[in-house]
Amino acid sequence: MELPAPPWQRPAKVKPVRRQLSQESVVDAALRVLDKEGLDAVTMRRVAQELETGAASLYVHVANKDELHRLILDRVSGEIPLPEPDPERWEEQIKQLLRDSVQVFASHPGVAQIAMADIPSGPNALRMMECMLSLLRMGGLPDQVAAWAGDLLGLFVPASALEATLFQNNDRSTPGEIAEWTAQFRGYLAALPADRFPTLVALAGPMTTGDGHERFEFKLDVLLSGLVAVARRTS
């Protein structure tokens, strides 16, 4: 039987066990901060607070905030499902790859800004680029067209994701609010002086029709049809 400690003796202080840090755990914490508070909050100090440690301890695993952003981007890029390239289905596969990419980026507001500010070069981003370029070549696009198309589509994804997250984070986030704002904007265009803005007035209706899904699918069709047309012209 264990004896009780004498009442005049102070019990030893129990030191909290410090969490073992790694690059993976730092990125995990940074992604949590990003999802909860946005990109501006992702600083070395704030991530250190999330990990209940000092900022200096993070620099053992991550060089600086820029590298942390690149690691976040690559982690999120790894969430994008990649198809097994099929020459018979290359066009639909690349469309689905773009849909999935935009959806994943939009689920982590702030990642789109990172992608547009740097050239993705992590292993997950490289696998995605390899898949995309392989699909473009399978579609018969010449190498130069495929290479430049990869750049074009690489900008299209974060731009589309950024647009989606902007609507999520302002006062037009619900379908009703979006419909109300759209009606106001349509009315504004229609009320412009027709002698100065005849085309805007004429297109006030068409410019404000269609939901985000319809517009996104239209963009995909235009992009892919345009690439095929360029490939035929240059081959």
pLDDT in tens, 63-90: 999 999 999 999 999 999 999 999 999 9
Q: What is the mean pLDDT of residues 12-29?
A: 78
pLDDT tens per residue, range 117-140: 988 899 999 999 999 999 999 999
Angle of CA points 52, 53, 59, to nearest 5°: 135
Residues 71 and 93 both lie in one domain:
no
- Calpha distance 174→188 (Å, rounded): 21
DSSP label at 121? -
The closest alpha carbon to 101, from 24, 89, 93, belongs to: 93
Residues 94 and 151 both lie in one domain:
yes
Angle of CA points 24, 25, 28, to nearest 5°: 90
Range of the domain at 137: 87-234
Residues 189 and 111 both lie in one domain:
yes
- Calpha distance 32→108 (Å, rounded): 10
Number of domains in the chain: 2
DSSP label at 89? G
Q: What is the mean pLDDT of residues 38-62?
A: 95
Answer whether residue 212 shows pLDDT above 90: no
Residues 125 and 147 both lie in one domain:
yes
3-class state of residue 54 by DSSP: coil
Mark which of 42, 77, 112 sits at the end of a domain. 77
For residue 8, tell me if it sits in a domain. Answer: no
pLDDT at 49: 96
C-alpha distances (whole Å) from 18 to each of 15, 42, 65, 151 are 9, 22, 23, 44
Answer whether residue 3 shows pLDDT above 80: no
Residues 92 and 51 both lie in one domain:
no
Answer whether residue 58 shows pLDDT above 90: yes
Mean pLDDT of the chain: 91
Residues 56 and 118 both lie in one domain:
no
Residues 96 and 148 both lie in one domain:
yes
Residues 115 and 212 both lie in one domain:
yes
The closest alpha carbon to 162, from 200, 88, 118, 110, belongs to: 110
Answer whether residue 5 shows pLDDT above 90: no
